Chain A
């Protein structure tokens, strides 16, 4: 006979889920409508019913390492059709935030990122960091002269990269550590709950699965299977492609600068600049659409974590575009100031990503890859 599962509810975890946006989790009366109506839930051991029960009982052990909560794309069909208004979609979103917080170390940063009272401190950190380091190293010039506005004259690229590159690797490190634990837990959970029969993780197969999943993600295939929130796919795609475009542009700049020693700003006729502009505009419009959608859908919970991420994306795009426009318009002072603000947001993006909702980029991809590998339908 199988070992009896010792149920140890954690009232604190129930409260955490509620505070992270799963406010209606306890309303669930386990009818399974959610699992039935979910357009993307697998047929075997479908979500989100089992997650709803576990969440209502505060069974952290069944949820934090659970890959299924990441397969959910928050279509919202379950929340709309739930006869009790338990909003499974919001509960799963809360569980994802709880997961991000559980794997992202140091924990204190995770708490700050998701606490609106700490926002001024979080934004002050890069400001202080840049100014202090700039003053110490002398790489910050408050009186950049010349006819042409060149932001590097104000903020030396050396200074920028001196700060950004370690931050970038910090984020990679935090993700790496979290991901390692997450994958191990997810595999253990899948085995325990009978979601897979494959006991050994095969790296080659997993990488092949990743390839397929990346394609699915880029095409937003899962999003398009959604019913209720299908319109979110467009905005999400714009923001995602905006980020990818800007990442490519930044990489090119980086390579061109350090290998070919060519400084910006580029001509507007340069194809790289075209890509940069398109990506920037896409980011601004995409995040604006997201804001509008969230404001109009009063029945779905939008937490601080949601607003933090959208706000950051929008601020990044907006400050970037304004910096460029004021530069082209010859408003030197304004442009330099906006560039400073823009840099603060870029740093925030790098540094806070593993602790914010944006970490879904990594965890969801990992979970989808795992699921693809596990062969669950």
Chain B
């Protein structure tokens, strides 16, 4: 497209009072960009002005100097136009009030050696934006070869069935694969189920049968029992799925990546590409490579992973103090449920009636933690099972000894009701020992509400063991991805598959795969059914986004995708390995194979690429590099005491809004920094930092999200990868004989706007202490 530029300066919201708008407009004029001013650009008149410009003058590349791009984005959206926003309001004028950053006096102006830091900043931002609009182009959507809207649901339990019903009722074809013989999963082994609706008072009849009937009545749902996924290849909207019988070995079983120890020779030296390929083929003998598509595979658009849970098993001797494994009448809640389902509650040891049952909720041994993988579920299950004892025996007694009684939400009503039963006894306490006493059991507990040390006689002791997601044992999804068949780094979630369950529920680390139910966290059927709706909607959002050629999440609707200039690729595989979402595969030579529909558009590959051959239509090495180069770096040639120039590359998800909020709250920070928003710190390419320093800027900082086990990065790994790259940048700095301290990375959360001034100012002070960049002026 032929670009026709236009700059629009809004003088409202204090911009006109603070800045010399005429001088600012002159800056645009120097670049040959026509300028218009308006006192209220986001108002109806202002909007009309721009529309007229577009319609009459054919302006299609607009630089709007007004407020932050995080506000009024709907007002300043013009289809078919490149729109660049210069954030004069929040980050220039509001964050740098004139009582702290005074304008120049007439005398100072006449002197010629004084400068107005705020005006300088505004002019720099305008220059940077003009540089950017020159470099970016309008994106074209990516279309998959052939789109499938079918949804695959893995797991035929309550969650999977609910997800299938939701998706089918929304008009989508669904296939459920269930490894067992029949639908229903765990829910078919229960006597009763936790309440799932008002009044939340009593356990209800299991809903599995009714749900199975609903599935059978739904024509859009295909059920495949005794079936598992051998592999899922391709990308969302165009997955090729191979199914098989459990335990079967087939050529389309997914191949595994080589473990690190097999990638080196006996001397610890990395194997070359050819040798690697050889070892890889040997390692995965009998299994086709990931890039070989199964010609008989079924096509799906998205996957709901509802593979569920298995009961937690202690390691040998782990629960010896409870006699678990030794005493036959010490059982798990899962075993108890089976006994209850079979009839009246009897002791496994001698088949006698079990009238006194103690439910133990935590493993004791000093800390107050519950059993692993329990969440709130085991509290509620214990209440339900206590009720069974009372149902079966008029004189039955059920004791629940807990460290935590967790009955969230409406389930408090359930707790309240169960508690009212005269034969159900609840106390906080630590069960220290379960032993044999005659032909019964005796349970010893400390620190109970009834006293320091108590003992109870029991016929049966039930341990509240948790729900282990099956992904702990097996990848289940078996993705034919170069990074491997399962999710990466799942250990930080105890094996639950999720990318970040607070910010992005259902979204896993693999685009197009949506987790629901107990695979995500221990939850009740009621919660799992809600979860299923969420995951089903996510799956639908995914196929529809792929259809329109846009990103699903978190950059929903983003039409850009990474573009590779393959001629210059050195097959270093960094992009393939560092992509947090496994979007890139590679061929035998190591050349990356992009799968844009798997991509979340974070740009981590762009940040990783040493050859700088990866970029997006509106966000690439050149566009940001040009912005960096557009920053004015005054030297002693310009002023006797030139100001410092510091570049900040800030994450647009958390850091950028935090800085906007700081401005909104009137918190000020150094006027010598120039901020450039980036999609994610993971997308920061080291070349930008080198460029900044070699043009004389005095320091560079990265401001992004927290990383580590409880990371807050939208793209899981971005800020962590950036921190690794920043540690390695020392060598590059040494070659320029610059101090390591000139480059730093800081963490901030979106709500920590109050920390913005301190973070920026302290970095500026540390650079002041180092002195100006010696390259300044060259």
Which residues of A line the B interface, CB within 8 A?
A: 1-2, 4-9, 11, 14-15, 18, 26-27, 29-30, 53-54, 56-59, 84
Which of B395, B422, B428 is A18 in contact with, Cβ under 8 Å?
B422
A255 to chain B, nearest CB (A): 53
Chain A residues with Cβ under 8 A from B420's Cβ? 26-27
Find the B residue at minimum CB distance from A13. Answer: B422
Whether a CB of chain A sits under 8 angstroms from the CB of B762 is no
A28 to chain B, nearest CB (A): 8
Whether a CB of chain A sits under 8 angstroms from the CB of B454 is yes
- A11→B422 contact, CB < 8 A: yes
- A4→B444 contact, CB < 8 A: yes
Which of B395, B425, B452 is A57 in contact with, Cβ under 8 Å?
B425
Chain B residues with Cβ under 8 A from A15's Cβ? 422
- A29→B422 contact, CB < 8 A: no
CA distance A18 to B422 in the complex (A): 9
CA distance A235 to B299 in the complex (A): 84
CA distance A30 to B419 in the complex (A): 12
Chain B residues with Cβ under 8 A from A26's Cβ? 419-422
Beyond the given A11-B422, A11-B423, A26-B421, could you list 9 further A-B residue pairs with CB under 8 A, ordered by the A residue number? A5-B453, A5-B454, A9-B397, A26-B419, A27-B420, A30-B428, A54-B450, A57-B425, A58-B422
CA distance A7 to B444 in the complex (A): 10
Chain A residues with Cβ under 8 A from B453's Cβ? 1-2, 4-5
Chain A residues with Cβ under 8 A from B419's Cβ? 26-27, 29
Whether a CB of chain A sits under 8 angstroms from the CB of B455 is yes
CA distance A1 to B428 in the complex (A): 21
Find the A residue at minimum CB distance from B448. Answer: A7
Whether a CB of chain A sits under 8 angstroms from the CB of B456 is yes
Given the interface pairs A4-B454, A7-B456, A11-B395, the reply to whether A30 lies near B425 with Cβ below 8 Å is no
CA distance A8 to B450 in the complex (A): 11
Whether a CB of chain A sits under 8 angstroms from the CB of B111 is no
Which of B416, B449, B450, B457 is A27 in contact with, Cβ under 8 Å?
B416
B: interface residue count bin: 20 to 34
Chain B residues with Cβ under 8 A from A54's Cβ? 450
- A59→B450 contact, CB < 8 A: yes
A197 to chain B, nearest CB (A): 19
| Interface of chain B residues 428 through 455 with chain A (CB within 8 A) | 428, 444, 449-455
A79 to chain B, nearest CB (A): 17
Chain B residues with Cβ under 8 A from A27's Cβ? 416, 419-420
A3 to chain B, nearest CB (A): 8
Chain A residues with Cβ under 8 A from B421's Cβ? 26
CA distance A62 to B421 in the complex (A): 20
CA distance A30 to B395 in the complex (A): 24
Find the A residue at minimum CB distance from B444. Answer: A4
Which of A5, A9, A14 is B455 in contact with, Cβ under 8 Å?
A5
Which residues of B line the A interface, CB within 8 A?
A: 395, 397, 416, 419-423, 425, 427-428, 444, 449-457
User: What are 30 A-B residue pairs whose CB atoms fall within 8 Å in the complex?
Assistant: A2-B452, A2-B453, A4-B453, A5-B451, A5-B453, A5-B454, A6-B454, A6-B456, A6-B457, A7-B450, A7-B454, A9-B397, A9-B425, A11-B397, A11-B423, A14-B423, A26-B419, A26-B421, A26-B422, A27-B416, A27-B420, A30-B427, A30-B428, A30-B449, A53-B427, A53-B449, A53-B450, A57-B425, A58-B422, A84-B416
- Chain B, interface SS category: strand
A67 to chain B, nearest CB (A): 18
CA distance A6 to B449 in the complex (A): 14
Find the B residue at minimum CB distance from A2. Answer: B453
Which of B422, B423, B425, B450 is A5 in contact with, Cβ under 8 Å?
B450
Task: Please list the 3 inter-chain residue pairs (A to B) with the smallest Cβ-Cβ separation, ordered nearest first.
Answer: A14-B422, A4-B455, A26-B420
Chain B residues with Cβ under 8 A from A4's Cβ? 444, 453-455
A27 to chain B, nearest CB (A): 7
A377 to chain B, nearest CB (A): 23
CA distance A57 to B423 in the complex (A): 8
B560 to chain A, nearest CB (A): 55
Chain A residues with Cβ under 8 A from B449's Cβ? 30, 53
Given the interface pairs A11-B395, A54-B450, the reply to whether A6 lies near B455 with Cβ below 8 Å is yes
CA distance A11 to B396 in the complex (A): 9
CA distance A6 to B458 in the complex (A): 12
CA distance A275 to B695 in the complex (A): 110
CA distance A7 to B419 in the complex (A): 18
A51 to chain B, nearest CB (A): 12
Find the B residue at minimum CB distance from A24. Answer: B420
Chain A residues with Cβ under 8 A from B416's Cβ? 27, 84
Find the B residue at minimum CB distance from A57. Answer: B425
CA distance A54 to B455 in the complex (A): 15
A32 to chain B, nearest CB (A): 10
B197 to chain A, nearest CB (A): 23
Chain B residues with Cβ under 8 A from A6's Cβ? 454-457
- A57→B450 contact, CB < 8 A: yes
- A7→B395 contact, CB < 8 A: no
Chain A residues with Cβ under 8 A from B425's Cβ? 9, 56-57
B364 to chain A, nearest CB (A): 15
Find the B residue at minimum CB distance from A58. Answer: B422
CA distance A8 to B397 in the complex (A): 10
Chain A residues with Cβ under 8 A from B444's Cβ? 4
CA distance A291 to B455 in the complex (A): 46
CA distance A30 to B450 in the complex (A): 11
Chain A residues with Cβ under 8 A from B454's Cβ? 4-7
Find the B residue at minimum CB distance from A52. Answer: B449
- Residue of A9, A27, A84 most packed against chain B (CB within 10 A): A9
B200 to chain A, nearest CB (A): 16
Chain A residues with Cβ under 8 A from B452's Cβ? 2
Find the A residue at minimum CB distance from B451. Answer: A5
B387 to chain A, nearest CB (A): 13
Chain A residues with Cβ under 8 A from B451's Cβ? 5
CA distance A56 to B421 in the complex (A): 10
CA distance A59 to B453 in the complex (A): 15
B566 to chain A, nearest CB (A): 66
- Residue of B416, B427, B449, B452 most packed against chain A (CB within 10 A): B449
CA distance A53 to B457 in the complex (A): 19
- Residue of A5, A14, A27, A84 most packed against chain B (CB within 10 A): A5
Chain A residues with Cβ under 8 A from B422's Cβ? 11, 14-15, 18, 26, 58
Chain A residues with Cβ under 8 A from B397's Cβ? 9, 11
CA distance A58 to B422 in the complex (A): 8
Chain A residues with Cβ under 8 A from B427's Cβ? 30, 53, 57
A322 to chain B, nearest CB (A): 45
B416 to chain A, nearest CB (A): 7
Chain B residues with Cβ under 8 A from A56's Cβ? 425
A337 to chain B, nearest CB (A): 47
Chain A residues with Cβ under 8 A from B428's Cβ? 30
CA distance A30 to B405 in the complex (A): 12
A311 to chain B, nearest CB (A): 30
CA distance A9 to B397 in the complex (A): 8
CA distance A27 to B397 in the complex (A): 17
CA distance A59 to B427 in the complex (A): 14
Find the B residue at minimum CB distance from A1. Answer: B453
Chain A residues with Cβ under 8 A from B423's Cβ? 11, 14
CA distance A141 to B668 in the complex (A): 107
B431 to chain A, nearest CB (A): 12
B331 to chain A, nearest CB (A): 22
CA distance A59 to B450 in the complex (A): 10
A110 to chain B, nearest CB (A): 22
A60 to chain B, nearest CB (A): 13
CA distance A26 to B455 in the complex (A): 21
A247 to chain B, nearest CB (A): 41
CA distance A6 to B453 in the complex (A): 9
Chain A residues with Cβ under 8 A from B395's Cβ? 11
CA distance A27 to B422 in the complex (A): 10
Chain B residues with Cβ under 8 A from A11's Cβ? 395, 397, 422-423
Find the A residue at minimum CB distance from B356. Answer: A9
CA distance A1 to B451 in the complex (A): 14
CA distance A2 to B456 in the complex (A): 16
A16 to chain B, nearest CB (A): 10
Chain A residues with Cβ under 8 A from B450's Cβ? 5, 7, 53-54, 57, 59
